[in-house]
């Protein structure tokens, strides 16, 4: 949401039109006949001019025609937010962890000086992170939703590109439980995270 545009990509003499996505650690281009992925780590130079993002790697320069977001995307590539920042986690927050939690993420939370509660839904948590792997795991959404209070958020992290569970499945489960989906974040190279909250008129 907000980091996906329709546009063209030029590499050498070739040009293709499709979708351009700015993810957590890479830029991706998708078209029916052409796909491209460039990790930030492989970029030696990034510049923005006239609505174009010029990305230089050892293989040459690729131009992404993204329009007005070009400068903003350049900043995000050169100065990416940490995962904790993107998720809105702040020091002192009470955070609840559910499911098979990624060890690196648990350590990041610890380093950010959050208060991590026991691994069960907590009525006092300001943020709950729930890791699911298949659609059947979503059966507990309603139970977890009932423990959210006020502006507390539920982040559901699920695998990317797996038919066993899709974005549609996650959004549908959250909405069925009375929650509103408000943000999506590339949680890791393998997982996406969707943020849900209680609608304002029901808090």
Q: Which CATH number fits domain 83-202: 3.40.50.2300, 3.40.50.150, 3.40.190.10, 3.40.640.10?
A: 3.40.50.150
Give the pLDDT confidence of 162-177 residue by residue, as tens digits: 999 999 999 999 999 9
Which CATH number is associated with domain 4-78?
A: 2.30.29.30
What's the maximum distance between 2 C-alpha atoms anywhere in the chain? 57
Instruction: Indicate the average pLDDT of the chain.
Output: 92
pTM of the predicted protein model: 0.71
Tell me what the mean pLDDT of segment 21-48 comes to. Answer: 93
What pLDDT, on a 0 to 100 scale, did the predictor assign at position 119?
61
pLDDT above 90: residue 151: yes
User: What are the sequence ranges of the domains in the chain?
Assistant: 4-78, 83-202
What pLDDT, on a 0 to 100 scale, did the predictor assign at position 92?
92
**Neighbouring C-beta atoms of residue 109, cutoff 10 Å:** 22
Confidence of residue 1 (pLDDT cuts 50, 70, 90): very low
């Amino acid at each position: 949401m907000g980091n996906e545009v329709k546009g063209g990509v030029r590499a050498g003499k070739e040009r293709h039109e499709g979708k351009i996505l700015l993810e957590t650690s890479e830029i991706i281009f998708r078209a029916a006949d052409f796909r491209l992925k460039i990790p930030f780590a492989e970029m030696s130079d990034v510049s923005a001019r006239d609505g174009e993002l010029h990305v230089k790697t050892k293989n040459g320069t690729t131009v992404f025609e993204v329009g007005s977001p070009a400068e903003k995307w350049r900043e995000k590539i050169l100065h990416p937010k940490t995962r904790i920042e993107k998720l809105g986690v702040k020091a002192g927050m009470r955070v609840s962890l559910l499911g098979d939690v990624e060890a690196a993420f648990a350590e990041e939370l610890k380093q950010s000086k959050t208060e991590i509660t026991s691994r069960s839904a907590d009525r006092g948590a300001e943020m709950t992170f729930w890791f699911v792997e298949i659609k059947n795991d979503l059966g507990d959404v309603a139970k977890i939703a009932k423990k959210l209070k006020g502006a507390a958020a539920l982040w559901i992290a699920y695998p990317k590109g797996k038919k066993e569970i899709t974005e549609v499945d996650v959004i549908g489960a959250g909405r069925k439980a009375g929650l509103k989906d408000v943000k999506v974040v590339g949680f890791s190279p393998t997982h996406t995270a969707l943020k849900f909250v209680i609608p304002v008129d029901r808090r």
